[in-house]
Amino acid sequence: MSNWFNEKILLGMNCREYISKHATLLNFMALIILCFSFYAMAYRLIYGLGPATNLSDTYPWGFWISFDILAGIALAAPGLTVGTVVYLFGAKDYKHFARPAILSSLLGYIFAVFALMFDLGRYYRVFYVIGWSWGLNSILFLIAWHFFLYIIICLIEWFPAFFEWLGIEKAKNFFSKLGIWATVFGVIIAGGHQSALGGLFLVAPTKIHPLWYSALLPLFFLVSALFAGISMVIIESTISHKVFRDQLKTFDRADFDNKTLGLAKALVIILFVYLILKVLDLTHYNNWHYLKSEYGYWYLLEVVGFVLAPALVLINSVKNKKVKLVRFTTFWVVTGVILNRFNVSLIAYNWYIPLQEKYYPTWMEIALSLGVVTLIVLFYRFIVRRMSILS
Amino acid sequence: MNRREFFKRSLTIAGSLLIARNSNASDQPLSVYSTQNKANKKNWEKFEELKKTNSQIDESYAVLVDITKCIGCRRCEWACNEWNKNPNRPVKEFEASKDEKPSVFDRVRRTHAGEFTVVNRFHSKNKPVYVKKQCMHCAEAACLNACFVDAFKKTPQGAVLYNPSLCVGCRYCMIACPFDIPAYEYYNALTPQITKCTMCFDRVTDGKVPACVESCTSDALIFGKRSEMLKLAYNTINKNPERYINHVYGEHEAGGTNWLYISQIPFEKLGFPELDKTPIPAHSKSFLFTVKVLEVVAAAPLVWGAYYMISKNRSKKEGKKDE
Amino acid sequence: MKRSIFIIIVFVLSGLILVQARNIYSVKEKPQTIKSPANKISIAHKEVFGSLEYGRVIFEHQKHIDSLSKVLKKSDSSICSECHSQNKYGDFIFDFPKDVDRKNPESLKNAYHKECLKCHQKLNIQKQKSGPTILSCRDCHKKDYEKTEIKYSVFEFDFALHDKHVKKHNKDCSLCHHIYDVEEKNKELALFYEKGTEQSCHYCHDLNQKRGPELSKIVKIAKERDLNMERACHTLCLNCHLSNKEQGKQAGPVVCSKCHTEKYKTVEDLKDIPRPEREQPQKAFINIEDAKMKGVAFDHSFHEKNNKTCRECHHETLRACKDCHTVKGDEKGGFVNLLTAYHSLNSKNSCQGCHRTAMNKNDCYGCHYFISPVTTEIANKEVCKRCHTGKKEIEKVSLLTIPSERVKKAVVIKHIEKEFEATKMPHYKMIQKLTDVSNQSKLATYFHRDITTICRGCHHKSKQDAEAKKDNPPICVSCHSVSFDSNALGRPRLESAYHTMCIKCHENMKLEKPKKCTECHERKKN
């Protein structure tokens, strides 16, 4: 048993070796973040939401929903985008990207739900929505079910790698065959709930600033999740190819760069689709006059500064084959998506109330979210080192 | 809650504030910290009980609020707290706030966990205008449709009731409510619940009027059948058209509500949201429909595509083998 | 190198975010409106230009007159022609610049720039003090001006001023009044004066009002010539004042602030001013021959004195109501029949509509908040007879007197004794006040024939059949029960009834007291 443990979990080292090998500065920082995060979790569980957060009756949803769920799920879309491209459209060239993408989706969703547990008042009742009482008219109900199904789908997609690691061939083959079906349903389900996250705010027409409120909110969320997903694929592959160089048996730099550029092309197209939709929306609701207000400038910053500008830079860099610039721009795009989620759910929400009554997070809310991000990174590293994800 | 327990709890809260709290909590009213309200549960149980008896109600009830008549005595708040067993203070203190400086009226308040209704003061031409705020009991309630465990129900009597035994505490109802009514027990770590006005369902079904209506000292609140209240509202407006704006708030707003308001100044100046006739749930319904259609319709070609891909792969492999 | 570009971009972006975040919550300044500007004119022409590229120019009119008269060594009034054009009668048209297509933004803009600068430059060459001469936009379109807005208050040519003009000009009405003959083919002759046709300028020159078929033909012509109230009055008044000044006669004001004072006279102020004479009757007998109702005696002179203008009743012409409003109603009277013309409760110009607004004012509204006027549909014979007497003489009515022996001095209300001290209501004093109010008003005196009318202000159900037979009016507790009556959901509790009645009455009569709850009932000390 201990032999198996040493082999599989500790990568052939014994405990002492393993710990001393991992005593790096970055790991130490992660440990500190986790300490604060666990303190925040415990504090939230013992004292409740009131003392731990700045949530109030005016702001029932705060940093956790905006960052962990809205932004987090959008950034966990690689599984949706790359899964579709590789498995459904048969773009085999991008198969490299598929397994890490699915893994990051799986971790993203599991930890989003994990973080959500701290936001729910009665987290222990969360299964009610699956099998106890159904609020069929609620968009949140749709999301809950889709999350539930999507995690199962991601698990099925990930199981081949998992069982390969455990060395159970039969199970691996079984889940490999299931994989394609899982992907099909994954696309439907993921598309459904990415848009539903935007749909959540359809019920607040008076509370969200008219520039952000639109019947097209679900579509905006879906499209922006698509480009967030592609950007995340590029970012992840960049980082993991740097960090896990040793994991790759054959690494063809030119080929990798080419594929990155290919993804960037798709990214540009989706960015422009999004922009066209935004202009359409502005015109349909005749909201142009709002652009002159302060919220309008902020809106312009989001749309021009974080969608149009990166799209133009991307066009240029794809033309001139500047891969590094592409990688940098994807960070830019992702920041834009996060900004958009914060705008819809926090800044444009309750837009009419004065500044001093606006919500801002406590340190505990931020620490908990940072901790969750750290956990995702650690788990990702843990799994990548042990299972054949990258190769 | 006896005094000792209350003391203990407030000490806990104060203690936790010192540890981890930033400033603005300390000047929040006590009702924010209130926990373990029983009123919502009690009303829900009564509703469940009555469902069995199968009693017939031909039309829902409504309360008509004549804003021009309210004198700001806040007795409705007191009576509400008293009946729903919320934290309360002597009625004297409620009444005094009208002339006090500083006064609770200085700030526009909203409902909180231990406070189902509040009276706010606005000014029109230097004259005070008092506006009572509580759940509007919409005909097609946003909270009801937002709830993903179906913990809200609209009763035939008109009240929108909440069932704490199902609630998961996601607070989506609070996002959805256009009137900012549902409040949450943020200071309860284990069994928090949403609290809101029940339109005194328990009293109404016993043939009484809501506690606030009974306690109103200036005839500003009138209770009756919704159609009659609408008639009364328009009669009142027609009698003194100079003193009222020709609008009954709640007749059509968000698909109609069971609390109606008439006023001398436009409602948007009194903190009422400007709503059209569309019920709030209608905004999300078309989306839900689209998703269902897409998922059912789009699923077929996608599955077919997948099947096609697999078979193509297989035939390729077989072709290779043949070579 | 690349890293530094990256850092710069991050800095710029975060800077942008910070700046925007601050902007979101900052409040924008609104232009400040100057209500009584010292003869300054705001040049913006928003009706032509829409939004302005460079903001408005605030033009110092007086300053220009002063310096021009100094340079040209001419009297004030004779230099107007420097800037303003004249028609063939020598009357000034107070437009600037002269002779320009005022509907075309480009030509208007060029004309302003050309005319202003031409003069400035001419003076500059002569080494005189001049305004800006070099083409720098912000010299005239100053940034500060965007923050200020100029608005002159409306000028009211009231009866006092009218009377002054009448006396001054020896009743020569033709100096101002004129009529326009639409039928006349020769436009030169269309405008003329005819004795006995004098009416208000508003009828033809107030272009915002909707008019009837007859008048709208004339209004259309006024519209074509752009003769709205502002231009019509400025041309008429200022030209006359200027020429008087020129001839050294005593003349009216020619500077803006002398007329646009924002001071208005009330009906009270105009009480002793004689009204214009236009052969109107002192007393009239309004009798429609084919109508069912008997005639109404009408005191025209009394109503004249109680209104600021004739237009309050004669909303379109100075003719009698029945001249336009026929019994059946037709196009001429805007399809308003005679019955409605006299009785409409919602019109400002009808008898009942006006009487009703009188009821909604001050003292009357204490009771009439609760007691609405009777509409013609439900009125009984007795009510109609008040006006429709059929006699040419107006009925003489006596003032109300209080039967002191039957009225309680004070009423003590103590049903809320548990919490509050008893309230002493000065019953007699209240009646006294209400009776005085009624007696002071001629309108009220005419309609309140009996002291019980006053009682009904509070004892509102005393006319109900069951109550009317009783000797005493019903008291509040007869109907309003102390605790909530579930059988009568719409009927207020006693406490509510008192509060509504007392507070609404005090509020509507604008009485100072009581402001606080304790001014009526002290809280009991326990």
Decide: A151 and A110 in contact? Cβ < 8 Å. yes
Q: How far apart are CA B154 and CA B152, in angstroms?
A: 7
| Contact residues for B39 (Cβ-Cβ < 8 A; gap 6+) | B83, B84, B85, B86, B116, B195, B198
Query: Smallest Cβ distance to B284: which of A122, A192, A202?
Result: A202
Mean pLDDT along residues C85-105: 82
Mean pLDDT along residues C289-313: 89
Confidence of residue B17 (pLDDT cuts 50, 70, 90): very low
- For residue C16, which residues of chain A lie inside 8 Å, CB to CB? 301, 305
- For residue C499, which residues of chain B lie inside 8 Å, CB to CB? 71, 217-219
DSSP 3-state of C51:
coil
Percent above pLDDT 70 for chain C: 95
- For residue A183, which residues of chain B lie inside 8 Å, CB to CB? 306
Closest-CA distance of chain B to residue A352, Å? 11
> Given an 8 Å threshold on Cβ–Cβ distance, is B98 in contact with C517?
yes
Question: Comparing A80-84, A119-123, A230-234, C96-100, which segment has the lowest mean pLDDT?
Answer: A80-84
- DSSP conformational letter for C174: G
| Contact residues for C60 (Cβ-Cβ < 8 A; gap 6+) | C39, C40
Question: Comparing A222-236, A274-288, C4-18, which segment has the lowest mean pLDDT?
Answer: C4-18
Mean pLDDT along residues C373-402: 84
CA-based R_g, chain C, Å: 33
List subunits contacting chain B, requiring 3 or more Cβ pairs under 8 Å. Answer: A, C
**Predicted local confidence at residue C456, as pLDDT:** 86
Cis peptide bond upstream of A210, omega within 30? no
CA torsion, ordered C51, C54, C58, C64, to nearest 10 deg: -130
Q: Is B15 left (phi over 0), alpha (psi -120 to 50) or beta?
A: alpha
Q: How far apart are CA A228 and CA B56, in angstroms?
A: 54
B228: nearest CA partner in chain C: C490
| Contact residues for A86 (Cβ-Cβ < 8 A; gap 6+) | A92, A94, A95, A97, A98
Decide: B178 and B273 in contact? Cβ < 8 Å. yes
CA A262 to chain CA mean position, Å: 21
Tokens of C363: 């003292």
Q: How far apart are CA C276 and CA A100, in angstroms?
A: 96
Closest-CA distance of chain B to residue C123, Å? 53
C-alpha distance across the termini of chain B, in Å = 85
- The answer on pLDDT for B16 being more than 80 is no
Query: Treating both helix axes as pointing N-terminal to C-terminal, what angle do A217-243 and A95-119 enclose, rounded to 10 degrees?
Result: 120
Decide: A330 and A236 in contact? Cβ < 8 Å. no
Query: Smallest Cβ distance to A298: which of C6, C13, C20?
Result: C20
Q: How far apart are CA A145 and CA A138, in angstroms?
A: 11
Cβ of A348: how many Cβ atoms within 10 Å? 23
**Predicted local confidence at residue B62, as pLDDT:** 92
B289-303, C131-145, C428-442: which is most confident: C428-442
Closest-CA distance of chain B to residue A386, Å? 29
Query: Smallest Cβ distance to B150: which of A119, A135, A205?
Result: A135
Tens digit of pLDDT for each residue in A122-138? 888 888 888 788 888 88
DSSP 3-state of B122:
strand
Residues 77 through 136 of chain A touching chain B, CB cutoff 8 Å: 87-88, 90, 119-123, 125-126, 128-129, 132-136
- The answer on pLDDT for A191 being more than 90 is no
Mean pLDDT along residues C193-208: 89
Number of residues that this document lists for chain C: 526
Q: How high does pLDDT run on average in chain C? A: 84
Cβ of A146: how many Cβ atoms within 10 Å? 22
Q: How high does pLDDT run on average in chain B? A: 83
Exposure string over A32-49, b if 16+ CB within 10 A, otherwise e: ebbebbeebbebbeebbb
Tens digit of pLDDT for each residue in B45-98? 888 888 888 777 888 899 999 999 898 889 999 999 999 988 888 888 888 888
Tokens of C443: 């309108």
**A50 interface with B at CB cutoff 8 Å:** yes
C22-36, C66-80, C103-117: which is most confident: C103-117
**Predicted local confidence at residue C342, as pLDDT:** 92
Tokens of C136: 């720098």
Percent above pLDDT 90 for chain B: 24
| β-bridge pairing C32-34 and C148-150 | parallel
Strands (E) located in C335-379: none
Mean pLDDT along residues C283-297: 88
- For residue C17, which residues of chain A lie inside 8 Å, CB to CB? 301
Q: How far apart are CA A198 and CA A215, in angstroms?
A: 10
**B69 interface with C at CB cutoff 8 Å:** yes
Q: Helical H runs in C480-521?
A: 494-508
List subunits contacting chain C, requiring 3 or more Cβ pairs under 8 Å. Answer: A, B
> Given an 8 Å threshold on Cβ–Cβ distance, is A295 in contact with C16?
no
| Contact residues for C179 (Cβ-Cβ < 8 A; gap 6+) | C191, C192, C193, C194, C197
Decide: A89 and A117 in contact? Cβ < 8 Å. no
Closest-CA distance of chain C to residue B98, Å? 8
DSSP 3-state of B111:
coil
- The answer on pLDDT for B21 being more than 70 is no
Nearest to A220, CA basis, from A164, A270, A274: A274
- The answer on pLDDT for A373 being more than 60 is yes
Confidence of residue C208 (pLDDT cuts 50, 70, 90): confident
- Which amino acid appears at position A90 of this protein? G
C148: phi then psi, degrees, rounded to nearest 5: -115, 145
Identify the residue whose tokens are 């609404």. C504
> Given an 8 Å threshold on Cβ–Cβ distance, is B71 in contact with C499?
yes
**Predicted local confidence at residue B137, as pLDDT:** 92
- The answer on pLDDT for B134 being more than 90 is yes
**Predicted local confidence at residue B160, as pLDDT:** 92
- DSSP conformational letter for C232: H
Closest-CA distance of chain A to residue C24, Å? 4
Exposure string over C259-279, b if 16+ CB within 10 A, otherwise e: bbeeeeeeeeebeebebbeee
Question: Comparing A8-17, A231-240, B136-145, C391-400, which segment has the lowest mean pLDDT?
Answer: A8-17
Number of residues that this document lists for chain B: 323
Decide: C310 and C321 in contact? Cβ < 8 Å. no
Tens digit of pLDDT for each residue in C487-516? 777 788 888 899 888 888 998 888 887 878
**Predicted local confidence at residue C449, as pLDDT:** 86
**A56 interface with B at CB cutoff 8 Å:** yes
- The answer on pLDDT for B296 being more than 80 is no
CA B27 to chain CA mean position, Å: 24
**C332 interface with B at CB cutoff 8 Å:** no
Question: Comparing C56-60, C306-310, C369-373, C465-469, which segment has the lowest mean pLDDT?
Answer: C465-469
Please report the number of interchain residue pairs, chain B to chain C, with beta-carbon separation below 8 angstroms. Answer: 50
- For residue A328, which residues of chain C lie inside 8 Å, CB to CB? 6
Question: Comparing B171-175, B301-305, C175-179, which segment has the lowest mean pLDDT?
Answer: B301-305
DSSP 3-state of C149:
strand
**Predicted local confidence at residue A12, as pLDDT:** 66
Measured CA to CA in angstroms, residue B242 lies from A44, A165, B264 at distances of: 55, 82, 8
- Which amino acid appears at position A35 of this protein? C
Question: Comparing A2-11, A377-386, C64-73, C370-379, which segment has the lowest mean pLDDT?
Answer: A2-11
- The answer on pLDDT for C35 being more than 70 is no
Closest-CA distance of chain A to residue C288, Å? 57
- For residue C346, which residues of chain B lie inside 8 Å, CB to CB? 241
Decide: B171 and A56 in contact? Cβ < 8 Å. no
DSSP 3-state of C103:
coil
- For residue C372, which residues of chain B lie inside 8 Å, CB to CB? 239-240
Number of residues that this document lists for chain A: 391
- For residue A347, which residues of chain C lie inside 8 Å, CB to CB? 24
**Predicted local confidence at residue B5, as pLDDT:** 54
Nearest to A76, CA basis, from A208, A212, A233, A301: A233
Decide: A333 and A9 in contact? Cβ < 8 Å. no
Confidence of residue C429 (pLDDT cuts 50, 70, 90): very high
Query: Treating both helix axes as pointing N-terminal to C-terminal, what angle do A139-166 and A95-119 enclose, rounded to 10 degrees?
Result: 130
- Which amino acid appears at position A255 of this protein? D
Identify the residue whose tokens are 């008549």. B69
| Contact residues for B7 (Cβ-Cβ < 8 A; gap 6+) | none
| Contact residues for C264 (Cβ-Cβ < 8 A; gap 6+) | C156, C158
Q: Helical H runs in A206-350?
A: 217-243, 253-284, 294-300, 309-319, 323-342
- Which amino acid appears at position C415 of this protein? H
| Contact residues for C33 (Cβ-Cβ < 8 A; gap 6+) | C148, C149, C150, C151
Q: How far apart are CA A350 and CA A348, in angstroms?
A: 6
- The answer on pLDDT for B230 being more than 80 is yes
Q: How far apart are CA A260 and CA A237, in angstroms?
A: 9
Nearest to A157, CA basis, from A173, A176, A174, A171: A176
- The answer on pLDDT for C277 being more than 60 is yes
Stretch (H or E) spanning C58: strand C57-60
Decide: A88 and A187 in contact? Cβ < 8 Å. yes
Measured CA to CA in angstroms, residue C231 lies from C50, C207, C258 at distances of: 21, 11, 17
Q: How far apart are CA B254 and CA B257, in angstroms?
A: 7
CA dihedral over C2, C7, C8, C14, signed as positive or negative: positive
Tokens of C90: 């020598």
- For residue C2, which residues of chain A lie inside 8 Å, CB to CB? 324
**Predicted local confidence at residue C25, as pLDDT:** 47
**A49 interface with B at CB cutoff 8 Å:** yes
Tens digit of pLDDT for each residue in C309-357? 999 999 988 888 888 898 888 888 888 999 899 998 888 899 988 988 8
Residue of A57, A64, A353 best to disrupt the B interface, most CBs of B under 10 A: A57
**Predicted local confidence at residue B135, as pLDDT:** 92
- The answer on pLDDT for B314 being more than 80 is no
Mean pLDDT along residues A81-100: 70
**Predicted local confidence at residue C526, as pLDDT:** 64
